[in-house]
A and B are shown apart, each in its own frame.
Chain A
Amino acid sequence: MSEPILRAERLGRNFGGLAAVRDVSLDLPPNQIHAVIGPNGAGKTTLINLLSGDLSPTTGRVFFRGVEIEGHALDRIARLGVARAYQRTNIFAGFSVFENCRLAAQARRLPGMRLFRPALAYRDINDAADRAMALAGIEPRAASRAADLSHGEQRQLELAMALATEPQVLLLDEPLAGMGPEEASRIAALIARLGADHAILLVEHDMDAVFNIAATVTVMVDGAVLASGAPEAIRADRAVQAAYLGEAA
C-alpha cells in the first residue's frame, strides 16, 4: 500500500471525564474511501474534528504526507488540502450558493490577502466554484440565498464547498443525511467517483452505501476502534455483528 496522505496515530480526546475518542489509529491512503461506522455517540464526529483541526487531540498525533501536523490549527490544515463537510450544516446563510462556493475556492487559490482586483475578476476562482456546484448538483440554485435552500440542498452545498477548495483529503460527516433517496444515491455515486482521486474519510449511517463504495471500513464503539478491515471482513466479523450490525438487522 502506498504512503497514507493522512494518518492518525493513537488519537484521543477527553471532554471532562468522558473519553469521546480513545486510542484511535487510522490511515487514509490516496484514492481510497475509508468509511467509519458506529452507533450514535461512538465518537465518529469527534474523530473528524480531531483530523480537521476543529478540535485539538488530548493525546496522539496526526500526520499529513508523513509530516506531523503541529498545533492542529484549523485553517492551516485546510490549506494543506484537507477539506471537511460538516454534519450540522455550516454554511454562510446570508450569501448566495455561488458566493459560498466562491469563498471556498478563494481560500484555496488565494491564500494571501488581495485588496485591489475585484473578486469576481478572478475567473479561475469562479470556474472552480462553478465546477464544485455542478459536481454536487447544486448548480441550478447558484443564485439562491443559502438560507432559502431545502435541508437536502444545504447538504449538497456543504459538499460543494468542500469540493471547491480542491482538496486532496475529504472528511465527510454523514453527507447523505437529510437527502431524498434519489439525491442520496446520486451523491453516493459522486463520492464513489471522488474516491478515484481523493483520500476520503466517510462517516455515514447508510450501510448499503458504505459497504458498496468503501475500500476499508472501521467500526467505532464507545470512542474506540472495534474492528477495521475490508468491507467483507467487517461484515463477517462476529464482534461487529454483535455490537452494531446485529442491532441494525
Chain B
Amino acid sequence: MSARLRPALLGLGLIVLLALPLVAGKFGLDLASRIMIMAIFAMSLDLLVGYAGMVSLGHAAFFGIGAYGLYLLSPAYGAANLFLSLPASVAASAIAAFVVGLLVLRSSGVYFIMVTLAFGEMFYYYATGARWLGGSDGAYIYQRPAAGPVDLGQGHTFYYLLLIALAASYALLHVILRAPFGHALRGIRGNEHRMRSLGFATPRYRLLAFVIAGALAGLAGYFDAAQFGVVNPELFGWRLSGGVLMMVILGGMGTLDGAIMGAAALVLLENFLGDLTTHWLLPMGLFIVAAVLLLPQGLTDPAALWRAVRERRHV
C-alpha cells in the first residue's frame, strides 16, 4: 500500500468504526467487535512473527489467560471491576509470557514453533482438568465488567472501549516499531548472529517483544470473555493459535494494517460461509490457498494480484 494511501485508509476505517453504532444493529456491532478483538490478537502475534521473526504456534495461551483472568476476577453473580480486572488480566498474561519466554526463547526456527505449540497445549490440558477453572466445560461470566459510570453491559460502551483498545494497541505497536527497539527487532529477524556481533543483547529484545505480544493477546482475550460471557479451554488451544497465525499471514506479515485486514477477512468469511453451508471450512480453505497463491504479500498488497496476472500473460 502506498505511503500516502495508508493514513487516509486508516482514518477512513476509524471514522467508519466510530459511526457504525449509528447505522448497524446488534448483529453488525457484535461482528465488528469480534473483528476488533481478533485484530488486537493478530497484531500482537504479528509483532512476533512479522517483525521479530518468531513464529509462535502457542500464542493463544496468553489470550486464554486474559480471558480466564476476567472469569476469575468476576464475582459469582455480579460484574467485575473493569479498572481492576482489565489491568490484572493483562498483567497476568504479561507475566506468563515472561516466564514462558524465558524458556522457549532458547530455541529458534522450527524448534521455536514446536516448543510454543507444546506450551500452548500444556495450558490447554491444564485448564481441561482444573476444577477451579471450570474444567473442560469452561465457565460462564454472567455480567460484563463495569466501573462507576462505565458499564460494558450498557449500550455501546463495550464497543467503544474496544475501539479505544484497538486504537491504543495499534498506536503502541506503531511507536515501538518505529523506535530503536523495533529497528533492532527487524534486524534480529534478518540476522540475529550479526546483531549480536554488533553488540545487541538480542535475547532481551526477543523476551521483551514476547512479553508485549503476550500482554496484548491477554487484552484481546479479556475482551473475548467479556463479549461472549464464557470461557473454555479452547481459548488456550492450537486451533486458535493457528487461526490467528492465519490472519497474520493472510493480511501480510510485518504490517499492522495487514493483521487487522487479515482478522477482518477471516472473521467475515467464517461468518458468511458459516451461514451458507455447514461445510464452510472447505470454501474457507480454498479461499486461503487462493489468497496465499495470488497475494503472497498479503491483503495489504492487492497490486500483487495485478502483477501476477500480467506475468502469467507474458509467459
Interface residues, chain A, with chain B CB atoms under 8 Å away: 52, 54, 74-76, 78-79, 84, 86, 90-95, 99, 102-104, 106-108, 110-111, 113-119, 122, 125, 161, 165
* Nearest A residue to B175, CB-CB: A116
- Point out which of A103, A111, A122 has the most chain B C-beta atoms below 10 A from its C-beta: A103
21 residue pairs of the A-B complex, CB under 8 angstroms, read A52-B197, A54-B193, A75-B195, A75-B200, A78-B196, A78-B198, A78-B199, A84-B197, A90-B193, A91-B194, A92-B190, A102-B183, A103-B183, A106-B180, A107-B199, A113-B184, A115-B175, A116-B179, A119-B179, A119-B182, A165-B199
Is the CB–CB distance between B179 and A115 below 8 Å? yes
Is the CB–CB distance between A113 and B208 below 8 Å? yes
Is the CB–CB distance between A90 and B181 below 8 Å? no
Contacts of B194 in A (CB 8 A): 90-92
Q: Tell me, in angstroms, the Cα distance from A143 to B178 when the chains sit together.
A: 18
Is the CB–CB distance between B176 and A115 below 8 Å? yes
For A75, give its contact among B179, B181, B191, B197 (CB under 8 Å). B197
Contacts of A75 in B (CB 8 A): 195-202
Contacts of A119 in B (CB 8 A): 178-180, 182-183
B156 contacts A by Cβ under 8 Å: no
* Nearest B residue to A110, CB-CB: B180
Q: How far is the CB of A105 from chain B (nearest CB, A)?
A: 9
Q: Tell me, in angstroms, the Cα distance from A56 to B197 when the chains sit together.
A: 14
Taking chain B's interface residues, is the majority helix, strand, or loop, or is none over half, making it mixed? helix
Q: Tell me, in angstroms, the Cα distance from A78 to B196 when the chains sit together.
A: 8
Further contacts, 5 of them, CB under 8 A, given A75-B195, A75-B199, A119-B179 = A90-B191, A95-B186, A103-B184, A115-B175, A125-B180
Contacts of B184 in A (CB 8 A): 103, 106, 113
Q: How far is the CB of A41 from chain B (nearest CB, A)?
A: 23
Is the CB–CB distance between B198 and A161 below 8 Å? yes
B171-219 residues at the A interface, CB under 8 angstroms:
175-176, 178-184, 186-187, 190-191, 193-202, 204-205, 208
Shortest 7 CB-CB contacts between residues of A and residues of B: A78-B199, A107-B199, A107-B198, A75-B196, A79-B199, A114-B180, A92-B190
B60-77 residues at the A interface, CB under 8 angstroms:
none
For A103, give its contact among B179, B196, B198, B204 (CB under 8 Å). B198
Q: Tell me, in angstroms, the Cα distance from A129 to B225 when the chains sit together.
A: 48
* Nearest B residue to A52, CB-CB: B197
B82-130 residues at the A interface, CB under 8 angstroms:
none
Contacts of B175 in A (CB 8 A): 115-116
Interface residues, chain B, with chain A CB atoms under 8 Å away: 175-176, 178-184, 186-187, 190-191, 193-202, 204-205, 208
Q: How far is the CB of A169 from chain B (nearest CB, A)?
A: 13
Contacts of A93 in B (CB 8 A): 190
Is the CB–CB distance between B196 and A116 below 8 Å? no
Is the CB–CB distance between B179 and A114 below 8 Å? yes
**Known pairs A113-B208, A115-B175, A119-B182; A103 contacts B187 (CB<8 A):** yes
Q: Tell me, in angstroms, the Cα distance from A78 to B202 when the chains sit together.
A: 12
Q: Tell me, in angstroms, the Cα distance from A62 to B241 when the chains sit together.
A: 46
Q: Tell me, in angstroms, the Cα distance from A92 to B194 when the chains sit together.
A: 8
Q: Tell me, in angstroms, the Cα distance from A118 to B193 when the chains sit together.
A: 24
* Nearest B residue to A91, CB-CB: B194
Is the CB–CB distance between B199 and A114 below 8 Å? no
Q: How far is the CB of A54 from chain B (nearest CB, A)?
A: 7
Q: How far is the CB of A10 from chain B (nearest CB, A)?
A: 24
- Point out which of A84, A104, A165 has the most chain B C-beta atoms below 10 A from its C-beta: A104
Contacts of A104 in B (CB 8 A): 198
Contacts of A165 in B (CB 8 A): 198-199
* Nearest A residue to B201, CB-CB: A75
Is the CB–CB distance between B199 and A108 below 8 Å? yes
Q: Tell me, in angstroms, the Cα distance from A75 to B198 when the chains sit together.
A: 7
Q: Tell me, in angstroms, the Cα distance from A119 to B196 when the chains sit together.
A: 19
* Nearest A residue to B172, CB-CB: A115
**Known pairs A78-B196, A90-B194; A99 contacts B183 (CB<8 A):** yes
Is the CB–CB distance between B187 and A113 below 8 Å? no
- Point out which of B180, B196, B205 has the most chain A C-beta atoms below 10 A from its C-beta: B180
Is the CB–CB distance between A116 and B176 below 8 Å? yes
Q: How far is the CB of A205 from chain B (nearest CB, A)?
A: 23
Contacts of A103 in B (CB 8 A): 183-184, 187, 195, 198
Q: How far is the CB of B193 from chain A (nearest CB, A)?
A: 8
Q: Tell me, in angstroms, the Cα distance from A114 to B176 when the chains sit together.
A: 8
Q: Tell me, in angstroms, the Cα distance from A116 to B182 when the chains sit together.
A: 10
* Nearest A residue to B182, CB-CB: A119
Contacts of B199 in A (CB 8 A): 75, 78-79, 107-108, 111, 165
Q: Tell me, in angstroms, the Cα distance from A118 to B178 when the chains sit together.
A: 5
Q: Tell me, in angstroms, the Cα distance from A106 to B183 when the chains sit together.
A: 9
* Nearest B residue to A78, CB-CB: B199
Q: Tell me, in angstroms, the Cα distance from A108 to B200 when the chains sit together.
A: 8
* Nearest B residue to A79, CB-CB: B199
Q: Tell me, in angstroms, the Cα distance from A103 to B185 when the chains sit together.
A: 11
Q: How far is the CB of B208 from chain A (nearest CB, A)?
A: 6
Contacts of A74 in B (CB 8 A): 193, 196-197
Contacts of A106 in B (CB 8 A): 180, 183-184
* Nearest B residue to A94, CB-CB: B190
